[in-house]
Structure 1
Amino acid sequence: MNKLVILVIVGLLLVGWEYESYGAPKEELLEEALYSRNYSYLDKTYSEFILCPKIDKIERVEGDIRRHNVYASALNYDGHHNGPYDKINIILTDTPEYGVKINKVTIQKGISEKESLKQCRRKN
């Protein structure tokens, strides 16, 4: 098993840890699945951003149910060990004709503990 797969598994375990006894909410599982589906389109430079994946917003492109703009975010794995976290924000477009196109990637360095807890849904 390669290092990236192990990190993704560990990250998903950490995300669901708070909900261990009764399972994560359906919405959170859908966000994780959608983030994981699109994660492979990111440059390897961003491979450490696997913790607490979140879909912040999804918009239909011109009302079409097959075309979407997706706004996603996640925290870096390294922040889990060394703190503070960095946060990746991704904007992508997914269409049948062109597949997934990454439009914009930004990194917020050293986000606050409050922001990291909010990202991981541990506290608002």
Structure 2
Amino acid sequence: MKKLVIVFVGLHLVGWYGVPKNELLEETLYSQYYSYLDKTYSDFILCPKIDKIERIEGDIRRHKVYASALNYDGHHGDVPYDRILLTLTDTPENGVKINKVTIQKGISEKESLLQCRQEN
């Protein structure tokens, strides 16, 4: 588990140590969209990533989002991880709509490390 350490001197932020800001943003977005998933997919909470975001017809308020995460059960190490791949649209007029859900069963250790940004 990564630690987040924020250093303040007086009221000024002088250092940011820990999870990169882009990862925090991805986790925040994923958790927002996660609530729209069917309970069938409730296990897919580890290493969330927003793989790609596209504007719909160039509009800054309408997006197509591609996201992924790993299943919690895989963290025990006795079975390989499964990965969920989501495609959704987020628009002011229709809200969030899940367009496609794909489950990749038993992904490789290398793929799981890449998903969790631990590739070395």
Structure-1-length-normalised TM-score: 0.83
Structure with higher RCO (Cα < 8 A, 6+ apart): 1
Asked which structure has the greater CA Rg, the reply is 2
Report percent identity of matched pairs: 79
Unaligned runs of 5+ residues in structure 1 are 1-13
Unaligned runs of 5+ residues in structure 2 are 6-16
CA deviation after TM superposition for structure 1 residue 20, in Å: 5.1
State how far apart, in whole Å, the 1-side matches of 2:4 and 2:91 are.
35
Q: Which has the higher helix share?
A: 1
Name the counterpart of 1:34.
29
Name the counterpart of 2:42.
47
Q: Any runs of at least 4 consecutive aligned residues in structure 1 with deviations exceeding 3 A, and if so which?
A: none
Q: Which has the higher strand share?
A: 2
Of 103, 114, 122, which residue of structure 1 is paired with 2:110?
114
Name the counterpart of 1:84.
80
Structure-2-length-normalised TM-score: 0.86
Of 55, 61, 86, which residue of structure 2 is paired with 1:60?
55
Q: CA RMSD in A?
A: 1.2
> How many residue pairs are counted as aligned between the two chains?
108
**Paired letter, 1:27:** N
**Paired letter, 2:48:** P
